[in-house]
Amino acid sequence: MRKVLLATFLGSAAALAVGSASANDELNKMAQNPKDWVMPAGDYANTRYSKLNQINAQNVGKLQVAWTFSTGVLRGHEGGPLIIGNMMYVHTPFPNKVYAIDLSNENKIVWKYEPKQDPNVIPVMCCDTVNRGVSYGDGKIFLHQADTTLVALDAKTGQVAWTAKNGDPGKGETGTSAPLVVKDKVLIGISGGEFGVQAHMSAYDIKTGKLAWRGYSEGPDDQILVDAEKTTALGKPVGKDSSLKTWQGDQWKIGGGATWGWISYDPELNLVYYGSGNPSTWNPKQRPGDNKWSMTIWARNPDTGQAKWVYQMTPHDEWDYDGVNEMILSDQQINGQPRKLLTHFDRNGLGYTLDRATGELLVAEKYDPKVNWTSGVDMDKNSPTYGRPKVLDAASTDKAGEDHNVKGICPAALGTKDEQPAAYSPDTQLFYVPTNHVCMDYEPFKVSYTAGQPYVGATLSMYPPQGETHMGNFIAWDGKTGKIVWSNKEQFSVWSGALATAGNVVFYGTLEGYLKAVDAKTGKELYKFKTPSGIIGNVTTYENGGKQYVAVLSGVGGWAGIGLAAGLTDPTAGLGAVGGYAALSNYTALGGTLTVFSLPN
């Protein structure tokens, strides 16, 4: 008996060790090596910060192009490559090619993967056919294809190890986001908020591709993996049917809450973090209630999917302020106390800082002074509306009602920031945030739902804030206080992921195609180079052969390619004013290229 018990104990201990050791420890260790860039944001905390400092504020002005690589695809290129040892993995938008490039051998293509996908998925993708990149773990490269096939490729050969189907494009479900490997699982979200999907975060077994758990954004407790007593919102248990109670009838079944943003992970707390998007139709009148848990920051246990805490930022969305943007994890002091923080720049124009262990809300402030739909979030813990934003009547499309055009709402539906990820530097304790500076008119009207068809229900037009002509800012943000430290104007939205480095330099790309380097402390521009196309990709850095490189994908498109390609609507033109905003097409054209920079020898 004793022997049996002991054997069982040993067996389960071994199983535990295998479970947590494999990919997780390997990845954690690899992420510590600044020469590599092993996951989409560089590390689990989503900081997009590199310890490399060969390129620094003093010498970055001498930067030059080291090599370039054409992806052979024209559509919008989001995300960025992974670098593991001498290998670089470059992905493309649809048809979702992956190239494995040997950095030690003349950047030769070692293997190439190109799936055969039904092109009918193309028009089901909301805004261009973007893909935000691949992930690595257990000797495999993971890609979420447009048609929602999650594929595991042997990192050495490109051979398909397994595939899993994560959704149904026939219902409007598509794949655009980058997976994240956590322990023995591959986590992946899904797109299709404007098609009325019931979105979810799903975890697949890293060895077999078998679905381990799936947590929906809305629905019954057993579908959203929420425990009425143990899962909390702002410190209190969410209670039974926390989502169902906030929808009329069965509307949650087409409730959206897409999950295509970036995922982060805290190995110590054993929690993964991500955001859910808009509650499908843009006509708020058609879906009364808070529409939980759309527009929500989620903290889930990566082993079971169980939610530890949730926080809904924009209850009953009236503007398409998707909550999908990344969660950046940092350890900083607030009021002299060391805190484990989560900072999130929401589409709704508020920069949130929460305690990532408990979900306690610490800071919620506007990161663009033009944000005008809310007077701010109620921070009084004793208030019945604690944690809720106060919606101003003048900006409420729900109050105005169907067939009424509400003018001058800031930000526009694309948010003060969209998917383009911010960076965090522990050196300066600042966040570097690429932002949009765009407002809108918004008129909701009745729509009917058809599976696999857009389910929008609002007319919008977008333009820069009144009296201004620039449509973007690149800002430095103090997440502890919720204040802008410096802000650089950009003619167009900044739609590129930022990179912060120990060299006191921050990099980002612009829609005209510039790769820019600025001083981390002051924002002073130190270098710029115009790449072949507009940049909506994320800047990456790595070291190879003793040299630091900075790499970025250019290839204009995405949401940015819709409005900005033609120039936004000029709201004053109807009044006879001269003007109109310079169109992006005067600056750049399509084409996917990776441009890699280094200092001269």
Residues designated as active site: 320
Q: Are strands 536-537 and 78-79 parallel, antiparallel or unpaired?
A: parallel
| Shortest Cβ 420–another protein spacing (Å) | 16
Cis peptide bond N-terminal to 411, omega within 30 = yes
Minimum CB distance to another protein smaller for 58 or for 120: 120
250-258, 264-272, 421-429, 454-462 -> range binding another protein (CB under 8 A): 454-462
| Shortest Cβ 13–another protein spacing (Å) | 52
Q: What is residue 235's three-state secondary structure?
A: coil
Minimum CB distance to another protein smaller for 307 or for 395: 395
- Nearest 5°: CA angle at 591, between 588 and 593? 110
| Shortest Cβ 482–another protein spacing (Å) | 32
> Does the footprint of another protein cover residue 526 (CB under 8 A)?
no
15-23, 127-135, 249-257, 385-393 -> range binding another protein (CB under 8 A): 127-135
Written as one string, the DSSP assignment of 507-553 is EEE-TTSEEEEEETTT--EEEEEE-SS--EEB-EEEEETTEEEEEEE
Tokens, residue 183: 């322990």
Minimum CB distance to another protein smaller for 76 or for 421: 76
Minimum CB distance to another protein smaller for 88 or for 590: 590
Residue 378 CB-density burial (10 A; 0-12 exposed, 13-18 middle, 19+ buried): middle
Interatomic CA distance for residues 26 and 44, integer angstroms: 12
> Does the footprint of another protein cover residue 127 (CB under 8 A)?
yes
For another protein, what does the binding mask look like between residues 567 and 596, x meaning CB under 8 A?
A: xxxxx-xx-----x---------x------
Task: To the nearest 10°, report the CA torsion of 552, 23, 206, 136.
Answer: 10
Are 57 and 504 within 8 A, CB to CB? yes
Among 31, 74, 110, 334, interactor with another protein by CB under 8 A: 74
Range list of β-strands (E), 267-400: 271-275, 296-300, 307-312, 327-334, 337-345, 350-355, 361-366, 374-377, 389-391
Core vs surface per residue 209-239: b (16+ CB within 10 A) or e: beebbbbbbbbebebbbbeeeebbbbeeebe
Among 457, 464, 465, 472, interactor with another protein by CB under 8 A: 457
Tokens, residue 588: 């750049």
Q: Are strands 514-519 and 536-537 parallel, antiparallel or unpaired?
A: unpaired
Residues of span 273-302 touching another protein by CB under 8 A: 282
| Shortest Cβ 449–another protein spacing (Å) | 9
Minimum CB distance to another protein smaller for 306 or for 585: 585
Q: What is residue 89's three-state secondary structure?
A: strand
Are 168 and 138 within 8 A, CB to CB? no
175-183, 198-206, 394-402, 440-448 -> range binding another protein (CB under 8 A): 440-448
For another protein, what does the binding mask look like between residues 138 and 167, x meaning CB under 8 A?
A: ------------------------------
Tokens, residue 68: 């370039």
Work out whether the CA dihedral 533, 536, 539, 545 comes out positive or negative: negative
For another protein, what does the binding mask look like between residues 552 and 571, x meaning CB under 8 A?
A: ----xx---xxx-xxxxxxx
Minimum CB distance to another protein smaller for 289 or for 454: 454
Minimum CB distance to another protein smaller for 129 or for 131: 129
Among 122, 153, 225, 475, interactor with another protein by CB under 8 A: 122
Half-sphere exposure of 112 (CA within 13 A, CB side): 9
* 545: region left, alpha or beta (phi > 0 left; psi from -120 to 50 alpha): left
Are 109 and 99 within 8 A, CB to CB? yes
Among 332, 358, 428, 453, interactor with another protein by CB under 8 A: 453
Are 318 and 289 within 8 A, CB to CB? no
> Does the footprint of another protein cover residue 267 (CB under 8 A)?
no
Residues of span 392-411 touching another protein by CB under 8 A: 405
Minimum CB distance to another protein smaller for 124 or for 180: 124
Size of the site for another protein (CB under 8 A): 50
Among 104, 120, 157, 304, interactor with another protein by CB under 8 A: 120
Among 385, 450, 466, 481, interactor with another protein by CB under 8 A: 450
Are 40 and 133 within 8 A, CB to CB? yes
147-155, 265-273, 459-467, 491-499 -> range binding another protein (CB under 8 A): 459-467
Work out whether the CA dihedral 370, 521, 79, 43 comes out positive or negative: negative
Task: Report the candidate in 180, 206, 139, 169 with the shortest Cα–Cα distance to residue 421.
Answer: 180
Minimum CB distance to another protein smaller for 27 or for 438: 438
Among 63, 350, 371, 462, interactor with another protein by CB under 8 A: 462
Minimum CB distance to another protein smaller for 75 or for 200: 75
220-228, 245-253, 371-379, 441-449 -> range binding another protein (CB under 8 A): 441-449
Tokens, residue 417: 């920031």
Tokens, residue 375: 């007077």
Interatomic CA distance for residues 578 and 580, integer angstroms: 7
For another protein, what does the binding mask look like between residues 191 and 210, x meaning CB under 8 A?
A: ---x----------------
| Shortest Cβ 556–another protein spacing (Å) | 6
Tokens, residue 265: 């992970």
Interatomic CA distance for residues 487 and 300, integer angstroms: 34
102-110, 302-310, 376-384, 445-453 -> range binding another protein (CB under 8 A): 445-453
Among 129, 264, 425, 491, interactor with another protein by CB under 8 A: 129
Other Cβ atoms less than 10 A from the Cβ of 478: the count is: 18
| Shortest Cβ 400–another protein spacing (Å) | 14
| Shortest Cβ 440–another protein spacing (Å) | 10
8-16, 208-216, 437-445, 483-491 -> range binding another protein (CB under 8 A): 437-445
Minimum CB distance to another protein smaller for 131 or for 330: 131
The residues that touch another protein, with contacts defined as CB under 8 A, are 74-76, 94-95, 119-120, 122-124, 126-129, 194, 282, 405, 441, 443, 445-448, 450, 453-462, 556-557, 561-563, 565-571, 573-574, 580, 590
